[in-house]
Structure 1
Amino acid sequence: MTLHDDAVLVLKEFDGRSEEQAALRQVYLDHLAAHPDGMWKACTGGHLTGSALVVDPEGGRVLLTLHRKLGMWLQMGGHCEPGDTALTATALREAREESGIAAGLTLLPGGPVRLDRHAIPGLCAWHLDVQYAAIAPPDAVAAISDESLDLRWFRYAEVPEVADASVVRLLDATRERLAAG
């Protein structure tokens, strides 16, 4: 199965639990149907990306990166690479690379937590982000990557003070998934 095929399957199975998320899922599926290269950065009309919000549910914290190019506090994430076999592989690879937590980081079961489409000025038309949540092990030690200006744990209540609305929505959806068990 190709990464493109995996993405189509993941999106078809995604239940975003809202009309907005269902409509966005269809936008993603339509994009992939129209763009065989829609998984790759070279697709300038937009491409899928994978991200993961790293959470410490026991401590009520999330790990955010101060993105070097955008200057914003964000979840870990980025572009699909040729070695990625699935969207989960992209999200987990990016989470490990950008958090420095190589061992014990696992994706929250149940597939993507939400979808978020955002414009990337000057680089491409759209990032069609498939967003997961990753659970950090209790002894996790984070390390700043080359893609980051800073890396910091924030309590859930602090996130709206430092991050944009898309990160807050991702946190809310993650907390809802965690509560559902």
Structure 2
Amino acid sequence: MPLSHDHIRTTVDSYLARNPHEREQLGAFLNGLDQTGDEIASRSTFTGHVTCGAIVVDDLGRVLHVLHLASGKFLVPGGHAEAADESLAATALRELHEETGIPPQAVTAWPGYETVPFDIDIHDIDAHPRKGEPGHQHFDLRFLFRLHTTTDVPVVLQEDEVGGIEWRPVDRVTQPPLREKLLKLPAMTEPETANASALIYNDRGEYLLHLRDYFPGEIWEPGMWSLLGGGREPQDASLEHTVRRELAEEAGLDLADLTPFGTEYASNDDSATVPIAIYAGRWNGDPRELRLTEGVMLAWFTPSDLHRLRIADTTSDLVRRHAASLSASAAPQSGLSSPEERRPASPSGTVLNVIGVHLYLERPDGTVLLGLRHPNSAFAPSTWHVLAVH
């Protein structure tokens, strides 16, 4: 499926939050987002469309340039999005591989730019009558990577598009605005760890939370409700690859579309600050049907339920911020305008006023008493739950 409008819009908004002074110069891009919707990712949208580039820096601080035959210029690798691309950053990595042969596994996202472009450039493209293409604009989102391998990477050029490569010092980067940004970039400090988590929501306005095992000292947030996700591993080309791998490993879950929502920061057991890339995705399945390999259970909760849970304040705030960011037309809660409408209806159509009593028993060490509901229970069958009765 093509890159979604929501994914592109969220990525651009994250970029402008860091570069608010560029809003005016990106006006054509923002207008295109408002007017063309999802079609802005299509190369046949000649009012202007999205492209993606990879800014790759080696261990000597040099920046990779390729000679684009179409323009006769040395530029950073990049090109058009394709329907199979899972994200804008994935487009940049695919183009890097196609044009130079450098695989995604040979680079890693620059810390702090895992989900946010380092630069966005708008440039004019000449008409190509033979291809039936009028003059148009490219809205080029450029992602920053470091070449992390210590051995020489074999270069296999895409001969029909690329005439050669050069590793150029930062002060010789061809495009002045990009060069100025790179010159101001602090020295590369690769974090030992980085995490990625999935903020999964459904059309009912609920969020999928994971009850972690109670293993103090062994895992983060033991015995607490949290997001699915985990730490980056060497084979992960990006933090989106990390979160997709974690979803598959922890719950057998594969989401068609994951949109970068932001980057959070947490402290690990060594008091080191670890970046956590947050990806949001919509899913309307039944968590009881998932193959859970870690933790105790998965369950849906609305933001208004969170105060009842043993959950970190940062996770609770993250869920509420995401819920608040959804527009009225796209909000999963649409159509549920009042608590009464969310209550189950009796067979005669009258509204049931249900009163429930819950007994929450917690030891000083944080362990909580739960009961396993009968498979035929009308509410949350076959799940662990606090003791409750109507």
How large is the Cα RMSD of the aligned pairs? 2.2
Letter in 1 for 2:109: L
The alpha-carbon distance between structure 1 residues 81 and 171, as it changes in their structure 2 partners (threshold 3 A), is: same
Letter in 2 for 1:4: H
Distance in 1 (alpha carbons) for counterparts of 2:147 and 2:188: 18
Letter in 1 for 2:177: R
Secondary structure of the equivalent of 2:106? coil
Distance in 2 (alpha carbons) for counterparts of 1:11 and 1:64: 24
Distance in 1 (alpha carbons) for counterparts of 2:118 and 2:49: 19
1:6 aligns with 2:7: yes
* The one of 132, 138, 143 aligned to 1:132: 143
**How many residues get paired?**
173
Q: How does 1:9-158 map to 2 (within 5 A)?
A: 9-14=10-15, 15-17=17-19, 19=21, 21-36=22-37, 37-56=39-58, 58-102=59-103, 103-108=105-110, 109-110=112-113, 111-122=116-127, 123=133, 124-137=135-148, 138-141=150-153, 142-146=155-159, 147-158=161-172
The alpha-carbon distance between structure 1 residues 92 and 24, as it changes in their structure 2 partners (threshold 3 A), is: farther
Mark the runs of 5 or more structure 2 residues left unpaired by the alignment.
Answer: 128-132, 190-390
Deviation at 1:143, TM superposition (A): 2.9
Secondary structure of the equivalent of 2:24? helix
Contact 1:16 1:113 in 2 (8 A): no
Contact 1:48 1:130 in 2 (8 A): yes
Deviation at 1:152, TM superposition (A): 1.7
Letter in 1 for 2:137: W
1:69-88 CA-partner distances (Å, limit 9, x unpaired): 11000001110100112111
The alpha-carbon distance between structure 1 residues 107 and 65, as it changes in their structure 2 partners (threshold 3 A), is: same
Deviation at 1:175, TM superposition (A): 4.3
Mark the runs of 5 or more structure 1 residues left unpaired by the alignment.
Answer: none
Letter in 2 for 1:118: H
Distance in 2 (alpha carbons) for counterparts of 1:175 and 1:99: 24
Identity %: 28
Contact 2:171 2:179 in 1 (8 A): no
Structure 1 length-normalised TM: 0.84
Distance in 1 (alpha carbons) for counterparts of 2:185 and 2:97: 21
Distance in 2 (alpha carbons) for counterparts of 1:29 and 1:140: 40
Contact 2:53 2:92 in 1 (8 A): yes
Structure 2 length-normalised TM: 0.41
Letter in 1 for 2:157: I
Contact 2:171 2:183 in 1 (8 A): no
1:78-136 CA-partner distances (Å, limit 9, x unpaired): 10100112111111211222221113222324211111100001044100111111211
The alpha-carbon distance between structure 1 residues 120 and 78, as it changes in their structure 2 partners (threshold 3 A), is: same
Secondary structure of the equivalent of 1:112? coil
Distance in 2 (alpha carbons) for counterparts of 1:86 and 1:144: 24
Mean alpha-carbon deviation: is it higher for 24-33 or for 6-15?
A: 24-33
* The one of 157, 168, 180 aligned to 1:172: 180
Deviation at 1:7, TM superposition (A): 0.5
Q: Which has the higher contact order (CA 8 A, sep 6+)?
A: 1
The alpha-carbon distance between structure 1 residues 121 and 16, as it changes in their structure 2 partners (threshold 3 A), is: farther
Secondary structure of the equivalent of 1:132? strand
State which structure, 1 or 2, has the greater radius of gyration over its C-alpha atoms.
2
Contact 1:52 1:91 in 2 (8 A): yes
Distance in 2 (alpha carbons) for counterparts of 1:150 and 1:40: 27
Secondary structure of the equivalent of 2:41? coil
Distance in 2 (alpha carbons) for counterparts of 1:171 and 1:54: 13
Distance in 2 (alpha carbons) for counterparts of 1:32 and 1:179: 34
